[in-house]
């Protein structure tokens, strides 16, 4: 089966979508591939003529299909071979056969023209103008309910937008941001110092940590925080910035819960807790919502442990309307605590 990779390259206006389908071609000479990369301008008309000849097996057959003279087709093929700097066809009996470079070129030509047909079909199906996209990268440790609150602000923009969300580890998201495939990244930490990525961290806000559990576990555990001692505990994975703060607090409070699960995905952790698997931490500002959605109960809060959330963008002074909407909503609606000034490594 052919691999299909789609790269979104856009900012502001509806972007161009560059789709590359890579065939599994055996024994390809790297030098042959380099020839095509070195060609700065690709004449699609010449490529179409070559594609027709390659499939017809002869210049005469292709000329008939293209409604051109064989001399015209031959001349265009020669120009194309001069352009890429290598022969693509060679005589074989009464017809022509592909060289190694020709086989590589044909594999790409097949994909390009198939994509062209798909594009026309898609444009005819969706005749209306495309909505401008707002592309958001979301770290796996950011709670889904918090993400929903933040991104709800995009509905209040003057024009409708198409929301594109990508959830992944922070390192991958920052790489996509650097390539302008994302407009912003929502994370639980600022951009690490020393990265060769142009970006700026804007603090959205912070919250104390609450501990919650299923009702049966919460009722039989005693007072907080002593109820955590020896009790089953679910924790965010080591990639979560708050993980170390929680462990530090447990140590200082001389509490020794039994860690029975670690989760990179905060929603999965809550789903396990819902079945009574253990206590779990969550931002206190989301406690009531989490309790209602998952049928759990808050048992106590730890003001000393703070979980912060950040918006990372390529802009120091935000001009992108979607990014500005999320930042303003976080500071004026979602978080009620004081927010420090922007941090830009």
Query: DSSP string spanning 266-285?
Result: HHHHHHHHHTTS-BEEEEGG
Q: pLDDT class for 338, splitting at 50, 70, 90?
A: very low
E strand map for 82-199:
89-92, 95-98, 133-139, 162-168, 184-187
Residues 106-110: contacts with CB under 8 Å, at least 24 apart: 106/50, 106/51, 106/54, 107/23, 107/25, 108/36, 109/47, 109/50, 109/51, 109/54, 110/51
**pLDDT tens profile 205-255:** 999 999 999 999 999 888 999 999 999 999 999 989 999 999 999 999 999
pLDDT of residue 37: 44
pLDDT surpassing 60 at residue 293: yes
167-176, 287-296, 312-321, range with greatest mean pLDDT:
287-296
Region of 262 please: left (phi>0), alpha (psi -120 to 50) or beta: beta
How many angstroms separate the CA atoms of 185 and 235, rounded? 23
Q: Tell me what the mean pLDDT of segment 283-287 comes to.
A: 94
No. of helices (H) and no. of strands (E), the chain: 12, 12
Rounded to the nearest integer, the mean pLDDT of the chain is 83
Token pair 């993980």 in the structure block, residue: 243
Please indicate whether residue 193 or residue 18 has the higher confidence score (pLDDT).
193
pLDDT surpassing 50 at residue 5: no
**pLDDT tens profile 31-87:** 444 444 444 467 888 889 999 999 998 999 989 999 999 999 999 999 999 888 899
**pLDDT tens profile 311-330:** 999 988 888 999 999 999 99
Q: Tell me what the mean pLDDT of segment 259-279 comes to.
A: 94
**According to CATH, where is 3.40.190.10 located in the chain?**
133-203+310-334, 206-308
pLDDT of residue 23: 35
Residue 158 φ then ψ, to 5°: -60, -35
**pLDDT tens profile 249-265:** 999 999 999 999 999 98
Query: Residue 200 has which token pair?
Result: 């700026």
Q: Tell me what the mean pLDDT of segment 107-118 comes to.
A: 86
Record: fold of 27-125: Arc Repressor Mutant, subunit A (1.10.10)
Classify residue 94 by burial, with Cβ atoms within 10 Å: 0-12, 13-18, 19+: exposed
CATH code of 133-203+310-334, in short, is: 3.40.190.10
Q: pLDDT class for 128, splitting at 50, 70, 90?
A: low
CATH code of 206-308, in short, is: 3.40.190.10
Report whether 290 contacts 270 (CB < 8 A). yes
**According to CATH, where is 1.10.10.10 located in the chain?**
27-125
Region of 254 please: left (phi>0), alpha (psi -120 to 50) or beta: left
pLDDT of residue 127: 60
Q: Tell me what the mean pLDDT of segment 166-170 comes to.
A: 92
- pLDDT-wise least confident of 151-155, 195-199, 261-265, 284-288: 195-199
Task: Count CA atoms closer than 13 A to 28's CA, side-chain side.
Answer: 17
pLDDT surpassing 90 at residue 18: no
Q: Please name the residue ranges forming H helices in 126-240.
A: 144-151, 170-178, 215-219
The percent of residues in the chain predicted with pLDDT above 70, rounded, is: 83
């Amino acid at each position: 089966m052919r691999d299909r990779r789609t790269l979104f390259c856009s900012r502001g206006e509806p972007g161009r979508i560059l789709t590359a389908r890579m065939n599994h071609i055996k024994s390809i000479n790297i030098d042959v591939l380099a020839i095509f990369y070195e060609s700065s301008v690709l004449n699609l008309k010449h490529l179409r003529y070559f594609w027709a000849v390659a499939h017809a097996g002869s210049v005469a057959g292709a000329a008939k299909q293209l409604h051109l003279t064989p001399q015209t087709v031959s001349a265009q093929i020669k120009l194309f071979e001069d352009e890429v700097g290598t022969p693509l066809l060679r005589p074989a009996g009464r017809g022509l056969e592909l060289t190694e470079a020709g086989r590589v070129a044909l594999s790409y030509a097949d994909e390009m023209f198939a994509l062209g047909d798909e594009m026309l079909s898609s444009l005819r199906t969706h005749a209306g103008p495309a909505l401008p996209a707002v592309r958001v990268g979301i770290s796996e440790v950011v709670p889904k309910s918090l993400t929903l609150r933040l991104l709800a602000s995009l509905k209040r923009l003057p024009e409708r937008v198409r929301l594109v969300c990508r959830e992944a580890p922070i390192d991958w998201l920052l790489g996509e941001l650097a390539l302008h495939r994302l407009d912003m990244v929502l994370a639980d930490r600022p951009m690490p110092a020393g990265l060769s990525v142009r970006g700026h961290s804007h603090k959205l806000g912070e919250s104390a940590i609450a501990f919650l559990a299923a009702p049966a576990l919460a009722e039989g555990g005693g007072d907080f925080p002593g109820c955590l001692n020896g009790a089953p505990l679910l924790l965010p994975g080591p990639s979560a910035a708050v993980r170390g703060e929680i462990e530090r607090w447990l140590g200082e409070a001389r509490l020794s819960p039994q860690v029975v699960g670690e989760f990179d995905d905060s929603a999965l952790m809550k789903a396990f807790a819902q079945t009574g698997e253990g206590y779990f931490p969550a931002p206190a500002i989301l406690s009531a919502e989490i309790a209602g959605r998952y049928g759990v109960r808050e048992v106590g809060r730890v003001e000393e442990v703070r979980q912060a959330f950040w918006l990372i963008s390529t802009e120091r002074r935000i001009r992108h309307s979607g990014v500005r909407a999320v930042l303003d909503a976080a500071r004026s609606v979602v978080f009620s605590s004081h927010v420090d000034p922007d941090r830009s490594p």
